[in-house]
Amino acid sequence: MAKKPRVLIAKIGLDGHDRGVKIVARALRDGGIEVIYLGIHNTPEEIVSAAMQEDVDAIGLSVHSAAHMTLFKEVLRLLRQRRATGMVLFGGGIIPEEDIRALKKLGAKEIFTPGRPRQEIIEFVKSLSGSRRQKTKRPASR
């Protein structure tokens, strides 16, 4: 089952630094992944609604405003609330090491900081396809 992975890529919060996120979105698309690019200035609610509607395998968020702890937490909460825990959350931006550990503990799967090659992100997303369907069968794992 070579299902093409679907991923939602967006900026969350108020910051407009979209150089990185656009490069990532473009690289994923060129890498054979179906990308829904939501642009800048999205709230957690808008992100999760779009992700559910588009039925994506993963959500990739970029934050450069240092609001990542609050915003990622909120997205994860909304995903749990809507029983979409099979959807993988990952991200990138200006995020210190300590916060990366904390975000992973909260449930973010991976955080890519500046300097990571695009290929790594493509491979990461590709490794997700298929794993999702299995996960969604066990909604009780809160």
Partner 1 sequence: MTAKKRVFGNLSGTEIKDVYGPQDIQDLDHARDLGSPGDYPFTRGVYPTMYRRRLWTMRQFAGFGAAEETNRRYHYLLKHGNTGLSVAFDMPTLMGYDSDLPKSKGEVGRCGVAVDSLADMETLFRGIPLDQVSVSMTINGPAIVLFAMYLVAAERQGVDFEKLRGTLQNDILKEYIAQKEWICPPAPALKLINDTIRFCVESVPHYHPISISGYHIREAGSTAVQELAFTLYDGLTYVGSGIETGLKVDDFAPRLSFFFNAHNDFFEEIAKYRAARRLWATEMKRRFSPRDPASLALRFHSQTAGCTLTAQQPHNNIIRVTLQALAAVLGGTQSLHTNSLDETLALPSEEAVKIALRTQQIIAHESGVPNTIDPLGGSYYVEWLTNRMEAEAKAYFDKLDETGGMARAIELGFPQSEIHRAAMAYQKEVESGERIIVGVNAYAEREGRPVKILKIKPDVERRQILRLKERKKRRSAKRVTGALEWLTRAAEQDEYLMPPILEAVRAEATIGEICGVVRRVYGEYRETAAV
Asked if 113 is part of the footprint of partner 1 (rule: CB under 8 A), the reply reads yes
Where do we find the tokens 């993988």?
A: 88
Residue among 49 and 113 whose Cβ is closer to partner 1: 113
Which residues between 20 and 49 bind partner 1 (CB under 8 A)?
A: 22-23, 25-26, 29, 35, 37-41, 43
Q: Which residues contact 111 (CB under 8 A, 6 or more apart)?
A: 90, 91, 92, 95, 100, 103, 104
Asked if 74 is part of the footprint of partner 1 (rule: CB under 8 A), the reply reads yes
Strand ranges across the sheet with 34-37: 34-37, 6-11, 58-63, 88-93, 110-112
Q: How far is the CB of 82 from partner 1 (least distance, A)?
A: 18
Q: With CB under 8 A as the contact rule, which of the stretches 17-25, 103-111, 123-131, 133-141 interacts with partner 1?
A: 17-25
Which residues are near partner 1 by CB under 8 A? 13-19, 22-23, 25-26, 29, 35, 37-41, 43, 64-67, 69-71, 74, 94, 96-98, 113-115, 117-119
